[in-house]
Amino acid sequence: MNSAERFFRRYIFSTIGIIALFLAVNLLLVGIFFMIAYLNGVADSNFPIEDFSNHITVKNEELTAGTQALETLRNADAWAMILDDNGTVIWEDGLPKELPREYTATDIAMFSRWYLDDYPVNIWKRPDGLLVIGFTPGSVFNHYISTSTAYIWPLCIGIGIAFIINIFLMIYLFLRNAYQIEKSMEPILNGIQSLSQGKAFCLEEKGELAEINAGLNSAGKYLMNKDNTRAEWIRGISHDIRTPLSIILGYACEIEDNASLPLSTRKQAKAIQQKSEKLRTLIADLNLSTKLEYSMYPAKKQTINIIELTRQVASEFLNELPEQYEIEIAEDRPGYPIFLNGDGPLLYRMLSNLIGNSITHNPDGCQISVCVGLNVDTCFFDIRDTGFGIDDRRMILLNRGTLISSTREEGNGAEHGFGLKIVQQIVKAHDGKIYFSSIEPHGLSVKIELPAVSQRGTFSQIH
């Protein structure tokens, strides 16, 4: 799963989470509302009629309401009356004058459900009649529901199903939209990723995001052109230097070999020759490093017997090896070849740079060992020397993959070239890994792991 897919998965899950949270919060708020309403009696549109009724008692054969009950009635801005079984008002308090004092059974049936002359009313059955509490018009909304029970259950289930369908529809539409956005955004995000890695890309310039795609394409082309121009410039410069350097190197060698010349002149010629050779290496390294950095090196990978390649590198060094150095080659499985899919000249350069590095940085001499082996489907190299090694700070930087530039070291003035940088670039170009470590009592170990070709298949094929 790439970063764009991860982003959209996270986006979808977070949105589903937001919807769930939204529903939960709303249910909670509604619950809280009803709870508060219940606790404060707001939800109860009915006057505390039962309580009020209990406070109306017969005293001296007359109905009398208690002071507290009357105060409650006043506070509710309401009026009250009690009708006997004939519909006659036998007690009243605050009853508006315009209202009749006698009611028929039809009147009572009508206002008990709805309104009495626009006054919303509540009723309560008493032993001596019917208590009616009337409120200010518009202060209470009366509603009356009369539905067949056969209809109620399907209605409830229907509401539930409709709710669930709505939720699913919402999720489906959301996922569809997210998928469409992902589909149109993914090439753009991949383009940005390619841009950051300096790789070539071309986005289709159509649809709603055509302008963005076109912008990214131009940015990519601009950066690639810039990289190409830089690489070509370096290539051109290194090419132009080669012929003059050949002449310098050639004549310096001739002067050095000319026994008839004074010794001091020959020494000077030798210095020129050594520096020319260093320049030659630097030019080649700069050119290669630039190409690897801008992914311009042609991928000409082929099956390579890495054991034989290691022998070739070692033999080149052994042919000209000063006495103070020793090089040993060890095979993990002697007599068996190890194959990997790679660029031969680059892998040759990788090993050559590492052995050369051990020689260059240990002028007093050291033992160098190169072990090559196979671990399941990984080819490994362990290049060790018994030299000075590398200080902890640089070791950490190297293992972090921080590329070394060809600069002068801070403080001590020691100069180093592109050697390790190129090694890291070559390992990266072969999808491998590289580890640097110190060895006891002193020295450096460089372990490299590269994907190997299926050994059984290749070996049997060759036989």
Calpha distance 330→457 (Å, rounded): 24
Residue 9's nearest CA partner among 184, 171, 179 is 179
Q: Give me 324's structure tokens.
A: 């103070």
Q: Does 221 bind other proteins (CB under 8 A)?
A: no
Q: Which is nearer to other proteins, 84 or 331 (CB)?
A: 331
Query: Which of 92, 277, 326, 332 touches other proteins by CB under 8 A?
Result: 277
* DSSP at 415: B
Tell me whether residue 95 or residue 329 sits nearer to other proteins (CB atom). Answer: 329
Tokens of 428: 């990266």
Q: Retrieve residue 126's tokens.
A: 């008493």
Task: Count the residues in the chain.
Answer: 463
d(CA 194, CA 267): 52
Q: How far is the CB of 232 from other proteins (least distance, A)?
A: 13
Backbone angles phi, psi at 199, to 5 degrees: -95, 155
Neighbours of 117 (CB within 10 A): 12
- Give the residue, chosen from 17, 154, 160, 250, that forms a contact with other proteins under the rule CB under 8 A: 250
DSSP label at residue 452:
B
Q: Binding residue for other proteins (CB under 8 A) from 254, 377, 415, 431?
A: 254
Provide the token pair at 21.
């949270």
Report d(CA 455, CA 341) in Å as an integer: 11
**Least gap, CB of 223 to other proteins (angstroms):** 23
**What's the min distance (Å) between Cβ of 244 and other proteins?**
8
Nearer to other proteins, 298 or 413 (CB): 298
Could you give the 3-state DSSP secondary structure of residue 439? coil
| Nearest to 225, CA basis, from 251, 264, 262, 198 | 198
Window 68 to 127, contacts with other proteins (CB under 8 A): none
Decide if residue 411 touches other proteins (CB under 8 A): no
Which of 199, 311 has the CB closer to other proteins?
Answer: 311
Q: What phi, psi does 139 have (nearest 5°)?
A: -85, -25
Specify whether the CB–CB gap between 426 and 349 falls below 8 A.
Answer: yes
Least spacing, CB of residue 423 vs other proteins, in Å: 18
Which 255-274 positions form the footprint of other proteins (CB under 8 A)?
257
Smallest distance from the beta carbon of 295 to other proteins, in angstroms? 15
Smallest separation (angstroms) from other proteins to the CB of 282: 11
* 298 lies in the site for other proteins, by CB under 8 A: yes
Single out the residue of 14, 67, 196, 243 in contact with other proteins (rule: CB under 8 A). 243
Main-chain dihedrals φ then ψ at residue 89, nearest 5 degrees: -75, 120
Q: Which of residues 444-463 bind other proteins (CB under 8 A)?
A: 459, 462-463
Binding segment (CB under 8 A) for other proteins, from list 15-23, 123-131, 135-143, 305-313: 305-313
Mark 310-349 with x for binding to other proteins (rule: CB under 8 A) and - for no binding: -xx-xx--xx--------xxxx---x-x-------x----
How many residues of this chain bind other proteins (CB under 8 A)? 42
Nearest to 343 by CA among 388, 382, 293, 292: 292
When asked if residue 382 is in the footprint of other proteins (CB under 8 A), the reply is: no
Between 309 and 444, CB nearer to other proteins: 309
Residue 3 as a binder of other proteins (CB under 8 A): the answer is no
**CB of 315 vs other proteins, minimal distance in Å:** 4
Cα→Cα distances 83→108, 142, 405, Å: 9, 21, 105
Q: Are 184 and 209 in contact (CB under 8 A)?
A: yes
Least distance to other proteins from the beta carbon of 361, Å?
A: 23
Helix (H) or strand (E) holding 112, with range, is: helix 105-113
Instruction: Name the residues that contact other proteins, by CB under 8 A.
Output: 239-240, 242-243, 245-251, 253-254, 257, 276-277, 279-280, 283-284, 287, 298, 300, 305, 307-308, 311-312, 314-315, 318-319, 328-331, 335, 337, 345, 459, 462-463
